[in-house]
Each structure stands twice: as structure tokens, then as C-alpha cells.
């Protein structure tokens, strides 16, 4: 089973490397959206610091959504999905490997770039660690939740719009807790509670999302 997980992750990372333009699109979208706000709002430091958590988190959320439609689309088109369903390894474990590879490609670059982009908002350096931690806990949850929507809308015409309608309401708790962690830390209240809740959401998503994704993939394959 471990060998299967390694093979799935290696395959997805190789495919992502061959489609570097798709990966770069989401990363560039995140960079451009975050960078445009300081130019549009103006150089007022207090205002920039106030909007920084919301801007960075909303941009990260939307950037993660850009790559969701491609998570299982090629597998459905070339017959790989049927092979995944017939594999000896449990489908849930294969799904976990796929989501992890998706996060490495689409979520981890955002976590790395976020502290650099936050400097445009004159964000206090003491808050950069909270920003990285909140994104490190929140973006995997976004990938897990988004994978459910991607599996449910697989093969549907206009699936991108339906995917957004399904996933965005489920993203709201992660968004609130992620921005709340930075706001609480900036107010001197500490971000431990928000980060613990984000970790709890990640654990819940990691426990239940693979089962939901597997069921949705089986339905889409029929």
C-alpha cells in the first residue's frame, strides 16, 4: 500500500511538472490579486494592515479553486479512473495521495509566497508566522473539501460553475478561522484558538473527505 501511495504521488507530481503552465496560472493569480490591492487601496498603512488577512486568504482560496477542475478530469477522460476503482489498494488511500499531490502543487507554493506578499501590506513581522501556520493548516483542508466538489461534478457540462457553488459555502469556516487567527494575533489576543480549530477542521476533513470523494468518484464512473 505504501508503494502504491508513493507511485500515485510521484505520478501526479510528474504530470504537474509537465503541465507547469497550469500550476503557474494559479500561483500567478494569487500573486497578482494580492499585489493589486495595495495599488488600488493606496499607501495608508493602517488600512493595508486591516485588510491584509482577508485579501491574502480570499486570494489563496480562489487560487486553490482554479486547479480543482483538473484534479480528476484527465483521469476520467483517459480511463485512469476505472483503473483506480479496480486497483487492489483502497480507493480512499489513492484519493488521499491524489489530494496530497494536489496540495503540494497548488497549496504549498501559496504558503511559501504569502509572507513575501504580506510585506506589501506593512504586516507586522511577528504576524508572519501566524499567517504561515494558518495557511499551512487551512490550505490542505481547502484541497480536501474541494476534491469532494471536483468528484461530484466530474464529467458534467458547466461543472466549473457548479463546483464553485458547491465548494464556496464549505470554504467559509476555513476562511473565517484563517482571517480570524491573524486578526486575533494583531489584537494581542493570541491565535492559538483559531489555529486549533483550523487543525480540528483539517482532521475532520482528512477523516471524512476521502470516503465522500471515493463515493462521488464511483458515482461519476457509472
Q: What was the pLDDT predicted at 59?
A: 92
Q: What was the pLDDT predicted at 30?
A: 92
Question: 67: helix, coil or strand?
Answer: coil
In the block, cell 506593512 appears at 122
Q: What was the pLDDT predicted at 57?
A: 92
Cα–Cα separations (whole angstroms), residue 117 to 112, 162, 195, 215: 10, 31, 21, 39
How many structural domains does the chain have? 1
Crossing angle of the two packed helices 108-118 and 45-66, in degrees rounded to 10? 160
Q: What was the pLDDT predicted at 159?
A: 67
Q: How many helices (H) and strands (E) does the chain have?
A: 10, 0
In the block, cell 464556496 appears at 168
Q: How far apart are CA 41 and CA 45, in angstroms?
A: 10
Q: What was the pLDDT predicted at 25?
A: 87
Block means of pLDDT (10 residues each) for the chain, length 222 residues? 80 82 86 89 84 90 84 73 74 86 90 90 86 92 90 75 85 92 86 92 91 85 70
Q: How far apart are CA 193 and CA 134, in angstroms?
A: 11
CB atoms within 10 A of CB 170: 15
Q: What was the pLDDT predicted at 92?
A: 81
Domain enclosing residue 132, as ranges:
2-221
Q: How far apart are CA 177 and CA 221, in angstroms?
A: 35
> Across the chain, which distance is largest between two alpha carbons, in Å?
58
Amino acid at each position: 500500500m505504501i508503494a502504491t501511495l508513493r507511485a500515485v504521488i510521484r505520478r501526479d507530481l510528474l504530470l504537474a511538472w509537465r503541465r507547469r503552465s497550469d500550476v503557474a496560472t494559479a500561483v500567478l493569480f494569487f500573486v497578482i490579486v494580492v499585489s493589486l490591492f495595495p495599488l488600488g487601496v493606496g499607501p495608508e498603512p493602517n488600512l493595508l494592515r486591516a485588510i491584509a488577512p482577508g485579501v491574502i486568504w480570499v486570494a489563496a482560496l480562489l487560487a486553490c479553486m482554479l486547479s480543482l477542475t483538473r484534479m480528476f478530469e484527465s483521469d476520467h477522460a483517459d480511463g485512469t479512473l476505472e483503473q483506480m476503482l479496480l486497483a487492489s489498494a483502497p480507493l480512499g488511500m489513492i484519493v488521499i495521495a491524489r489530494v496530497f499531490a494536489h496540495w503540494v502543487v497548488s497549496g504549498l507554493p501559496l504558503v511559501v509566497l504569502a509572507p513575501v506578499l504580506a510585506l506589501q501590506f506593512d504586516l507586522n513581522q511577528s504576524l508572519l508566522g501566524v499567517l504561515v501556520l494558518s495557511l499551512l493548516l487551512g490550505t490542505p483542508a481547502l484541497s480536501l473539501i474541494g476534491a469532494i466538489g471536483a468528484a461530484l461534478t466530474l464529467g458534467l457540462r458547466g461543472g466549473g460553475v457548479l463546483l464553485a457553488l458547491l465548494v464556496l459555502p464549505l470554504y467559509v469556516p476555513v476562511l473565517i478561522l484563517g482571517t480570524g487567527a491573524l486578526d486575533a494575533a494583531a489584537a494581542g489576543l493570541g491565535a492559538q484558538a483559531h489555529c486549533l480549530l483550523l487543525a480540528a477542521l483539517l482532521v475532520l476533513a482528512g477523516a471524512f473527505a476521502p470516503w465522500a470523494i471515493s463515493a462521488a468518484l464511483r458515482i461519476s464512473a457509472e
